[in-house]
A and B are shown apart, each in its own frame.
Chain A
Amino acid sequence: MSVVQNQEDGVSLFGEDIVQLCGFKIGGQHFAIPVLEVQEVIKSEQVTRLPLAPVHIKGLINLRGQIVTLVSLRSLFGLDEKEDEDSMHIIVRSGDSLFSLMVDGISDVLDISLKSYEETPSTLKDDIKKYISGVYKLEDDLIVQLDLDKLLDRKENK
């Protein structure tokens, strides 16, 4: 997959509509969120634990003076935690606050043709299904696009 130069709506040379996604891996599965929702990507920072918070909220970190809430997507999806100190985090904004999404690894920015969009297959775990806004089928892979607001606006405590 090549990276297209222009940033905006991403009209490819072939005239197809393309969407740009930031890809990452969790538990071997490929996920993505629109590039425009990503503020930055950082290395793991010192975390202050947040007592009494839901299990998937790992704590708070200091990002250049801003308080950012650290969310473990593995935990949110019901997977076991990994003891990886050097994981990368994706910083996104939802509502008024910043969140740092803990993922297993970060892939490239992907240009995906809207043609490969499909409805969410019912075979995926219920746990994850509620966060999914859609799925893109590529030749050798399935990329699951996550809905950021649903991911982060959860009010219930586990």
Chain B
Amino acid sequence: MSSGQIVKEFLIESFENLSNISDQLTQYENERENKDLLNSIYRKVHTLKGSANFLNYKKLQEVTHNAENLLDDLREKKVELSSNIIDVLLKTFDCCQVILQNIESNDKEGNIDIAGLIDELKRIQQAHSLKENILEMRSPLSTGTVFSHDSFKGIEMKKASNSSHIPTEDVSSNEAGLKIVLPEIGPSKEEVSTEVKDEKEETPTKNIADSVVRVNVELLDKIMNVVGELVLNRNQILQYAGSYENSELNRLAQQLNGITTELQTDIMTTRMQPVGTVFAKFDRVVRDLSRSQDKKIKLSVLGKETELDKTLLDAIRDPLTHLIRNAADHGIETPEKRTQNGKSNEGHIQIRAYHEGGQVTIEIQDDGQGLDPEKISRKALEKGIVTKDELERMSKNQIQSLIMMPGFSTVDKVTNLSGRGVGMDVVKSNIEKIGGSVDISSEPGNGSVFKLKIPLTLAIVPALVIEARKETFAIPQVNLVELVRIEDEHIDKKIERIHQNEFFRLRGNLIPVFRLGKELDLEPVSQDEITKNIDKSLSVAVLNAEGVTYGLIVDQVLDTQEIVVKPLSKNLKELSVFAGATIMGDGHVALIVDALGFYNKVTTGTVNKAMKSNVKVEESEDQDSYSESKEILLTELGDGQDYGIPLVLVSRLEELSCSSIEWSGDRALMRYRNKSMPLIDMEKALDLKGDSLLARVKNTEVDKNDRFDCVVVKIGGQSLGLVVKEIKDIAITDSEVSNDIVAHPGMMGTVFIGERTITIIDVHTVLKKNGIKTKTNAIKKGRILLVEDSPLYQKIQMEILNEHGFEVVLEENGRAGLERLQKEEFDLVVTDIEMPEMNGWEFASAVRKLEDDKLRTKPIVAVSTRVSKEDLAKGVKSGFTKHLEKFDKDEVLEAINFCMAS
């Protein structure tokens, strides 16, 4: 073994020792009766001293020697332990750390001044005098002699020079000044440790080091890689075996599969370490901080046995330390302030680690002052991180999360511990780099919780394989929320377009969707391919990343597989759209889509106003439980004002070319999807001042190639185009339509949206004015009891039902409805759920308890915005015959016809 290697071994061992010494010292401060602990510390210091001596590191020798003396005095109870002493000892070992680091980088101990430290140590040992062997240790060891001394310590010194790998002549050329050539080196390592053990007879603790093998992390990484290759190869073999239908081959392939899986699991386990190894440092951090700031802080740790892959552990070490520092520095208040606020004067920081759903969650909770949204908002505005508008739309939670934006720091003065404005955003990016996430929740005044979610392992992940434009991609399952398949007929209804952006209605919520092939600019498939592909349904993968949910339209969903993530080369890493690449079973390369990266790319530059207003609504708490949220399409008409059209009536939003407008007498129409569609002049219909586009087109004032916005509605089976000046936005409001101020016929009333009052257009009246006759389309006419409290929906539903040949009687709530039902004859009931006085569930339950058979079995069709699984189940229990989502006209009519027919 070369001299360089001895030093390397020395460094590895000593760093570890020092780290342990530090941890144990901190622990010992709180466990002063624990003699074992003190002895363990002593032994380690002793080993350190011995090695330092052997390698002739003089400063290290001197420092450790003095520390060792002090520790001995503590052991012998010649000196009484105090926090001050712990401080000095900790300082001593920090100093040793610096020396070691110097040796590591420069092969020399460096210029560090240890005089002050030595003095302090000596002073503490007042009653204890230094032994002369210190002087002896300072003299260089001469060749051929074993350093022997008749004192107790001397013998130990000899044994401490324990390397069984005997250095030969090469050593003498070592810069560290090794001159020791001891061919007849003392007893071997194992013997040394046992002898040392024997001398300390107090407690013979079992040496756990015997059952452990120390392995280089690089080697483990290499093994992981090879196992990764094996997994890929296994995938390929399985695939080929499958296509050969040879039973023996299959059997062997399956065996290989089992063996590989087991190997994979075992190897991953070798790399797993308990998070406790990282947490152990925090005792010291908290201790130092609380002393330097005069705060009382207690740290408790739960779940330190929770295991995590070593690379992940290394990656979270710094972020976690930062969070702990923050909690102690900014979170926990001084004892005075705490008692002032009625809290105990000791602050509490708790770290909790646990497994959950394929991830490890680490929570750092403190009962300090929490995050002040006011302060954060102010700082964020100052630093230009957000605009006033954006701030207004944010929830408390979102504001608190602003602290993770780059360039943010709320400390008024920067302490050297935290708050340089590079802290939280670095934490966030480091955690995200390993595939994890950071979540903040905080109650100002009460404390904060920082939740880190980290995936269990990096390299091998389950993924969904999909195809877009004949190319294969993989989406990690962790980002996949669900898969939705939209049949051809439904595509129009479910996918809505606003200008260039497409949206998908997923159980009442509007989420943005993107076409993978288009966004990635893939080769378009030839026309023949498209027509060959009879199955025109769409597959949408709903993804979630960082709280953002969106849909990805793909051509085909293939299957789920475990894939090995291979990183892209560094200069391609800027393509944040891809998280890496993998090799598929058939050998070809597939790219792995990064859910967040893709989303960021496709939304830069596009103003997704609709999304933002959607977000606003989702955040609103304390909703009035009776008012349902209504989606209103905002359009601008020729008079420059915004008008609203209930989105439920809207079929599509289009931007069309003026050249497609045709005239039949005075009426405008155009060819739309192979049918003739009348175009309605909205300004004319509503008697508004200002230009109407259609009028201008008629007067040939408009260029044929200009485009215009058109809202397509479908009434009575016919599509009609409402020509507006501009389609603006989709807003969601809970406020009810008020009929107080009705400016014109053709207007239904007004609604509050944000801070404005918007007039809602009565589309049905507009159409009647234009002489549009609507076809009736009922299989069977009948009498329907409509129970609905919202004026807007009352009107819409009545119109639709009337249109289809049903006679409709309206009641405003469940109680009134129940009475009416018993007084008059009805064929069927259509009811809302959220209503005052008696809601839909109660109504149905009451009906099902009536004595009259005919009444009891009356079909009840519930139409509501509440369609979650629980709601549906509750509906069944209450007695709904059908339960549908608001507001799918065709679905409702179908259900009604179905119930009537049976």
Contact = CB atoms under 8 A, between A and B. Distances in A.
Interface of A: 46, 48-53, 57, 59-62, 65-67, 69, 95-99, 152-155, 157
Interface of B: 229, 232-233, 471, 520-523, 566, 568-572, 574-575, 577-578, 581, 583, 587-591, 601
A152 B571 contact: yes
Nearest to A59: B589
Contacts of B581: 48, 60, 67
CB-CB nearest 5 A-B residue pairs: A97-B569, A51-B520, A48-B589, A60-B589, A67-B566
A51 B568 contact: no
Given A51-B521, A60-B581, A95 B587 contact: no
Contacts of B233: 65
A153 B571 CA distance: 6
B569 A61 contact: no
Given A60-B581, A62-B589, A50 B522 contact: no
Given A48-B589, A52-B520, A155 B574 contact: yes
Contacts of A67: 566, 568, 581, 583, 589
Given A51-B520, A51-B522, A53-B572, A62 B577 contact: no
Contacts of A62: 583, 587-589
B816 to A, nearest CB: 60
Contacts of A95: 569-570
A46 B588 contact: yes
B460 to A, nearest CB: 14
B229 A65 contact: yes
Nearest to B516: A51
B577 A52 contact: yes
A39 to B, nearest CB: 14
Interface hub of A48, A61, A153 (most chain B Cβ within 10 A)? A48
Contacts of B522: 49, 51
Contacts of B588: 46, 48, 62
A154 B570 contact: no
A59 to B, nearest CB: 8
B591 A50 contact: yes
Nearest to A97: B569
Nearest to A153: B571
Contacts of A97: 568-570
Given A53-B572, A65-B232, A97-B570, 19 more contacts: A46-B588, A48-B471, A48-B589, A49-B523, A50-B572, A50-B575, A51-B520, A53-B575, A57-B572, A60-B568, A60-B589, A61-B589, A62-B587, A62-B589, A67-B583, A95-B569, A95-B570, A98-B569, A153-B571
A50 B523 CA distance: 12
A50 B578 CA distance: 9
B591 A69 contact: no
15 contacts: A48-B588, A49-B471, A49-B523, A50-B575, A50-B578, A51-B591, A52-B577, A53-B572, A53-B575, A59-B589, A60-B589, A61-B589, A65-B229, A65-B583, A69-B569
B110 to A, nearest CB: 33
Contacts of B587: 46, 62
A158 B166 CA distance: 59
A49 B520 CA distance: 11
A92 to B, nearest CB: 12
Nearest to A94: B569
B575 A99 contact: no
B224 to A, nearest CB: 14
Contact of B572 (A46, A61, A69): A69
Contacts of B232: 65
Contacts of B578: 50
Contacts of B575: 50, 52-53
A96 B589 CA distance: 19
A135 B233 CA distance: 44
A90 B158 CA distance: 59
A96 B569 CA distance: 7
B742 to A, nearest CB: 53
A82 B594 CA distance: 32
Nearest to B471: A49
A152 B578 CA distance: 20
Contacts of A49: 471, 522-523
A96 B583 contact: no
Contacts of B471: 48-49
A94 to B, nearest CB: 8
A57 B578 CA distance: 15
Nearest to A69: B569
Nearest to B581: A67
Contacts of A61: 589
B500 to A, nearest CB: 19
A75 to B, nearest CB: 15
Nearest to A98: B569
Contacts of B591: 48, 50-51, 60
Contact of B570 (A48, A57, A96): A96
Nearest to A60: B589
Given A60-B589, A65-B233, A155 B571 contact: yes
Interface hub of A51, A62, A96, A97 (most chain B Cβ within 10 A)? A51
A65 B569 CA distance: 15
Contacts of A154: 571
B817 to A, nearest CB: 57
B588 to A, nearest CB: 6
B211 to A, nearest CB: 35
A44 to B, nearest CB: 14
Contacts of A51: 520-522, 577, 591
Contacts of B570: 95-97
Nearest to A152: B571
A49 B572 CA distance: 13
Contacts of B523: 49
Interface hub of A52, A57, A99 (most chain B Cβ within 10 A)? A52
A101 B229 CA distance: 24
B330 to A, nearest CB: 37
Nearest to B587: A62
A67 B581 CA distance: 7
Nearest to A157: B574
A99 B568 CA distance: 11
Interface hub of A57, A67, A154 (most chain B Cβ within 10 A)? A67
Given A50-B575, A51-B520, A51-B522, A99 B569 contact: yes
Contacts of B569: 69, 95-99
Contacts of A65: 229, 232-233, 583
A81 B511 CA distance: 42
Nearest to A65: B229
Contacts of A99: 569
A14 B569 CA distance: 43
A155 B571 CA distance: 6
Contacts of A69: 568-569, 572
A153 B583 CA distance: 24
Contacts of A50: 572, 575, 578, 591
A55 to B, nearest CB: 12
A59 B590 CA distance: 11
B249 to A, nearest CB: 21
A71 to B, nearest CB: 10
B562 to A, nearest CB: 15
A48 B590 contact: yes
Contacts of B577: 51-52
A65 to B, nearest CB: 5
Contacts of A52: 520-521, 575, 577, 601
Interface hub of B471, B566, B589 (most chain A Cβ within 10 A)? B589
Nearest to A48: B589
Interface hub of B571, B577, B587 (most chain A Cβ within 10 A)? B571
A99 B572 CA distance: 12
B225 to A, nearest CB: 10
Interface hub of B568, B569, B581 (most chain A Cβ within 10 A)? B569
A77 to B, nearest CB: 18
A101 to B, nearest CB: 13
Contacts of A155: 571, 574
